[in-house]
Amino acid sequence: MRGIWVAAAAVAAASLSAPAGALADWPVYGHDLANSRNAGPAGPPRSEAGSLTRAWTFNSPTGDFTGTPVVAGGVLVAGNNGGWVYALDAVTGKVRWSRDLGSPINGSAAIDGNTAFVPVAKPGAPRLVALSLEDGSVRWSSILINQASASVYGSPTFWRGSVYIGTSGPNTDDTRARGSVVALDESSGAIRWQTFMVPPDRDGAAVWSTPAIDPATGRLYVGTGNNYHPPTTNMEDSIVALDAADGHVVGHYQATKDDSFAGGDNPAGGPDFDFGASPNLFTGAHGEQFVGEGQKSGTYWAVDRATMQPVWSANVGPGGPLGGILGSTAFDGERIYGGDTLDGQVFALGRDGSISWQIRRPRRIAHRPGDDRGRRALQHRPERRA
């Protein structure tokens, strides 16, 4: 999957600005189990957005920040593509500790209690590392998969003592690796289960993004990418529901069939219409329980969580190997917000799939991992509260 998006850390850090005392947490990539990416009343109101000022800046000497900073208990944790993790005081920006994990960190950390879980993209043997939030010491380090060119671009989330994360191939799709979802014991790092998205004799269906979890049903939802080589499978380019307890697949919806793509040896195999964004869990206009996810085709899909059948879809812009909807979307209780990477437009959808508004921008709004365009700095802008 080419063109996986990278969040500009300065923008992400601004969106995570904590109130006085840094009491507002954003502990995982999607903010919560539903991947709403919405801080609600803990964020600044619209009336104050234009008057926010910079409180501090941290300049990394070791690489660019490539994920969303996470915040919990007054500590901000962010990793960079040089393989370093930094823990900063969320109020002052001062370094509490740093640690070199040896390979790029493409995604975001997750913080549960006094532990930070960090995905490390070591080629062929990506791993998840648990660090003490207090001093950065390693509590455990677990290899997620041993496959040539396997990697990790998504971020972990946690629920009921387990931490969940997806695995993928490299950003170019030049691999035979199989996408999977892995559940690990939070305390020990032992793998509780691993579910592959394709059979052993197939490849692709990468899980690029962060799972969403429905606590009411115990189901976990992810999106998958294309196969890398034919023959194609029935869970590529799909939204997939798994049982969070044991990992078995309980249903899926395939949005694009017969899609195989690899940048090197199969560039014309298919349209490269991955689900690269993270899924959102939300309630529809008539009380429906949806899992929604944006696709690189430029379409946002709303699927019934129980039946895994589509209820509505909305095309918001052009698709292709570098986008449509490549970055993750947000939900504020009324609308879904996102962007199309090809034409740079920003959109808002109603819970019924209607287009509330669209704003076109003069350039693309997403970047490739490692794209060096001034993202070494983390910036924090304080929130003013009444």
- pLDDT, tens only, 192-223: 999 999 999 999 999 999 999 999 999 999 99
Instruction: Find residue 190's DSSP bridge partners.
Output: none
- Domains for the chain: give ranges and CATH numbers: 9-371 (2.140.10.10)
- pLDDT of 381 > 50? The answer is no
CA distance 296 to 260: 14
CA distance 276 to 327: 7
Provide the CA 67 distance to its chain's centre, in angstroms: 8
Q: 45: pLDDT confidence band, cut at 50, 70 and 90?
A: confident
Tokens 């501090």: give the residue. Answer: 56
What pLDDT is stored for residue 375 in this prediction? 45
What pLDDT is stored for residue 377 in this prediction? 56
Instruction: Find residue 378's DSSP bridge partners.
Output: 58
What pLDDT is stored for residue 32 in this prediction? 98
CA distance 62 to 372: 12
pLDDT digits (tens, 9 = 90+) for 327-378: 999 999 999 999 999 888 999 999 999 999 999 865 555 444 333 333 455 5
pLDDT digits (tens, 9 = 90+) for 245-265: 999 999 999 999 999 999 889
Say if residues 106 and 153 touch (Cβ distance below 8 Å).
yes
What pLDDT is stored for residue 23 in this prediction? 55
- Least confidently predicted of 40-49, 102-111, 363-372: 363-372
What pLDDT is stored for residue 264 in this prediction? 87
The one-letter code for the residue type at 316 is V
Read off the pLDDT of each residue in 266-293 and give the average, rounded to a whole number: 96
Neighbours of 129 (CB within 10 A): 22
Q: Which of 312, 324, 308, 235 is nearest to 273 (CA)?
A: 324
Strand (E) or helix (H) holding 9? helix 9-15
3-state secondary structure (DSSP) of residue 202: coil
Phi, then psi, of 49 in degrees rounded to 5: -60, -40
Mean residue pLDDT across the chain: 89
pTM: 0.90
CA distance 23 to 245: 32
Neighbours of 104 (CB within 10 A): 26
Q: Which of 102, 126, 159 is nearest to 281 (CA)?
A: 159
Read off the pLDDT of each residue in 93-108 and give the average, rounded to a whole number: 97
pLDDT digits (tens, 9 = 90+) for 120-151: 999 999 999 999 999 999 999 999 999 999 99
pLDDT digits (tens, 9 = 90+) for 296-330: 999 999 999 999 999 999 999 999 998 899 999 99
Q: What percent of the chain has pLDDT over 90?
A: 80
| 41 burial via Cβ count (<10 Å: 0-12, 13-18, 19+) | exposed
- pLDDT of 287 > 90? The answer is yes
Neighbours of 331 (CB within 10 A): 23
What pLDDT is stored for residue 194 in this prediction? 98
CA distance 206 to 166: 8
What pLDDT is stored for residue 376 in this prediction? 54
Tokens 């199309």: give the residue. Answer: 340
Read off the pLDDT of each residue in 282-304 and give the average, rounded to a whole number: 97
